[in-house]
Amino acid sequence: MFRTKTNGELRLSDVGASVTLAGWVQRTRKFGGMTFVDLRDRYGITQLVFNDEYDAALCEQANRLGREWVIQVEGKVSERSNKNPNIPTGDIEILVESLNVLNESMTPPFTIEDQSDGGDDLRMKYRYLDIRRNPVRRNLELRHKFAFEVRRYLDEKGFLEIETPILVNSTPEGARDFVVPSRMNPGQFYALPQSPQTLKQLCMVAGIDRYFQICKCFRDEDLRADRQPEFTQIDCEMSFVEQEDILQMFEGMSRHLFKSILNIDIPSLPRMTWADAMKYYGSDKPDTRFGMEFVELKNQQPDNASRELVDSLFPEGFGVFDSAAYIGAICCEGQAVLTRKQIDQLTEFVKRPQIGAKGLVYARVQEDGSVKSSVDKFYNAETLDALKQKMNAKAGDLILILSGDDAMKVRKQLCELRLEMGSRMGLRDKNKFSCLWVIDFPMYEWSDEEQRLMAMHHPFTSPKPEDIPLLDTDPASVRANAYDMVVNGVEVGGGSIRIHDAKLQQKIFEILGFTPEQAQLKFGFLMNAFKFGAPPHGGLAYGLDRFVSLFAGLDSIRDCIAFPKNNSGRDVMLDAPGYLDQSQLDELCLSVEQDK
């Protein structure tokens, strides 16, 4: 061992001890005849002292040290006169007796500090230096602990971690597969799994009873900030269970994670139906750290989210509202102070193409309780007062109203506005956590593109037993035994109870528009396995990267991944992907079509 102690462990009680330390030079400072070196490793920083009077040659050696050099020192632990209360080793320093340079270092391309001067691209190219920085390293430590606590909880509950293969076949999951040419089977390809969905269901057929796996999944999609071509999933499945069993089991896991990692006791997870989530938050992953729920001021377009017909609060007069199928509003507490300019910014915000609202109507509740609105000229004081009552608004509040032809579209716009207001009002604190289950998802959603009902989750998802009769009469209204876990407006996990009954599965395929032959072709493999005694089963999967990011308070999943890829799917550190030798292509019986 090149050290007897790490740089994070020495305390006042160690004063007088002889120690050997090793690590990286964080910085050196000269004060008169003294040279101070901050020595860093994963565990902390320890101050080294070299005294010119005591050993001039050694001090001279120390003066030549550069940033990020790797050194080993022997010395005595001594009490610091000038203590540093900000670090755990701040009470002591090492009076160095010998210094051994283990490796020199070129000057790193950015500073190895909590706040680095390196841009994103540079940090990714030299990720091995970026990881030396505390914030990045702490994320990786958190990720390790998170995964370990997941395993500890599931192991205690009798789950078996089963490794499923990475070289599999294409599965009907929707997204595009990464493929791997097989040299031994020329012209044929493996696919990398988008998820082990099929294999975990086979594990249930195999009698594994309780399965989990923390595993890599792969999707060849165009990337967004929070997507990576390879990502890590906590994949779980249980047999002989109903929805309630799954919710209980994994609510318990979340509670364990929050407690063991963040020392936070989270309350029992509320359950919100998908309909309520859409009606009151315009999202199937509502951020419930704050209220500001939607109020329907008019709804002439009842749907799965809100079956209630709501007559308009507004008498005829304002054409936009008159012709709208849906009018919804939020009440922003104390925001009547917003200036006209700030409200104009909000109007611009909702009119951005990504959101797509036509405009924004507002109403301020003034100190005297009267209401000033951007549509004052169309409505009298009674109407505006009715609005105030309906919105439960009080003096100083700001009411924001959106309307449109398509209730679901307006809800999504209002959702964005609500989140924006929540952020501006400081209601989305990263250190506060609000978890819930969203349940009772619809089985199907209508695809304008395909002009048919599509499975909202996947085609193996079981309908709610009480809704099965509706499969014949009104399939679009059938609810599924599907559920998502949502934390702070982020879907961290989701799953469903699966269909284990062949006849019911057949019916679901029919509704999705598959002929028996098509169903056999696409899903036959799993269906055949199910003929040998499939137990009732269900499960869910968490996105580990996202869940850890939430715990770490990160905006992107990238910084909790050791070696992430950029938005072009490149690993700029490894410089992957790259070109193959012709001989490799020949062995695989492949040629690249350069002209395409």
Q: Of 74 and 230, which has the nearer Cβ to a second copy? A: 230
Residue 302 CB: number of other CB atoms within 10 A? 12
Q: Of 100 and 389, which has the nearer Cβ to a second copy? A: 100
Q: Least distance (Å) from a second copy to the CB of residue 226?
A: 17
DSSP-derived letter for residue 240 is: S
Q: Least distance (Å) from a second copy to the CB of residue 125?
A: 11
**Structure token pair of residue 368:** 């005297």
CA angle 105, 108, 111 (to 5 degrees): 130
Q: What is the DSSP string of 125-163?
A: HTHHHHTTSHHHHHHHHHHHHHHHHHHHHHHHTT-EE-P
What is the C-alpha separation between 255 and 485, in angstroms, rounded?
12
Mapped onto helix, strand or coil, the DSSP state of residue 507 is: helix
- Length of the chain counted residue by residue: 596
| Contacting residues for 274 by C-beta, under 8 A, at least 6 apart | 284, 304, 305, 438, 439, 440, 441, 442, 479
DSSP-derived letter for residue 557 is: G
Q: Least distance (Å) from a second copy to the CB of residue 561?
A: 7
Q: Least distance (Å) from a second copy to the CB of residue 454?
A: 20
Q: Least distance (Å) from a second copy to the CB of residue 370?
A: 57
Residue 457 CB: number of other CB atoms within 10 A? 21
Judged on CB neighbours under 10 Å (0-12, 13-18, 19+), 53 is: exposed
Q: Least distance (Å) from a second copy to the CB of residue 108?
A: 6
Judged on CB neighbours under 10 Å (0-12, 13-18, 19+), 420 is: middle
| Sign of the torsion formed by the C-alpha atoms of 289, 291, 297 and 298 | positive
Judged on CB neighbours under 10 Å (0-12, 13-18, 19+), 397 is: buried
Residue 100 contacts residue 106 (beta carbons within 8 Å): no
Is the backbone of residue 403 left (phi > 0), alpha (psi -120 to 50) or beta?
A: beta
Q: Of 333 and 571, which has the nearer Cβ to a second copy? A: 571
What is the C-alpha separation between 35 and 28, in angstroms, rounded?
7
Q: Least distance (Å) from a second copy to the CB of residue 217?
A: 10
Q: Of 243 and 488, which has the nearer Cβ to a second copy? A: 243
Q: Which amino acid, one-letter code, is at 262?
A: L
Q: Of 148 and 446, which has the nearer Cβ to a second copy? A: 148
Q: Least distance (Å) from a second copy to the CB of residue 368?
A: 59
Q: Least distance (Å) from a second copy to the CB of residue 37?
A: 14
Residue 46 contacts residue 39 (beta carbons within 8 Å): yes
If residue 435 lies in a helix (H) or strand (E), which one and from where to where?
strand 435-439
What is the C-alpha separation between 12 and 6, in angstroms, rounded?
15
Q: Of 378 and 523, which has the nearer Cβ to a second copy? A: 523
Q: Of 151 and 358, which has the nearer Cβ to a second copy? A: 151
Q: Least distance (Å) from a second copy to the CB of residue 591?
A: 5
Cα–Cα nearest to 418, from 550, 307, 277, 549: 277
Q: Of 16 and 187, which has the nearer Cβ to a second copy? A: 187
Backbone dihedral angles phi then psi of residue 39, each to the nearest 5 degrees: -100, 130
Q: Least distance (Å) from a second copy to the CB of residue 167?
A: 6
Q: Which amino acid, one-letter code, is at 127?
A: R
Q: Of 189 and 514, which has the nearer Cβ to a second copy? A: 189
Residue 482 contacts residue 469 (beta carbons within 8 Å): no
Whether omega for the bond prior to residue 465 falls within 30 degrees of 0, making it cis, is: no
If residue 235 lies in a helix (H) or strand (E), which one and from where to where?
strand 230-239
Q: Of 143 and 411, which has the nearer Cβ to a second copy? A: 143
Q: What is the DSSP string of 461-474?
A: BPBPGGGTTHHHH-
Q: Least distance (Å) from a second copy to the CB of residue 331?
A: 43
**Structure token pair of residue 214:** 């923390």
Q: Of 341 and 596, which has the nearer Cβ to a second copy? A: 596
Q: Of 137 and 289, which has the nearer Cβ to a second copy? A: 137
Q: Least distance (Å) from a second copy to the CB of residue 171?
A: 9
Mapped onto helix, strand or coil, the DSSP state of residue 386 is: helix
Q: Of 424 and 570, which has the nearer Cβ to a second copy? A: 570
| Contacting residues for 587 by C-beta, under 8 A, at least 6 apart | 183
| Contacting residues for 120 by C-beta, under 8 A, at least 6 apart | none
Q: Of 239 and 461, which has the nearer Cβ to a second copy? A: 239
Q: Least distance (Å) from a second copy to the CB of residue 51?
A: 25
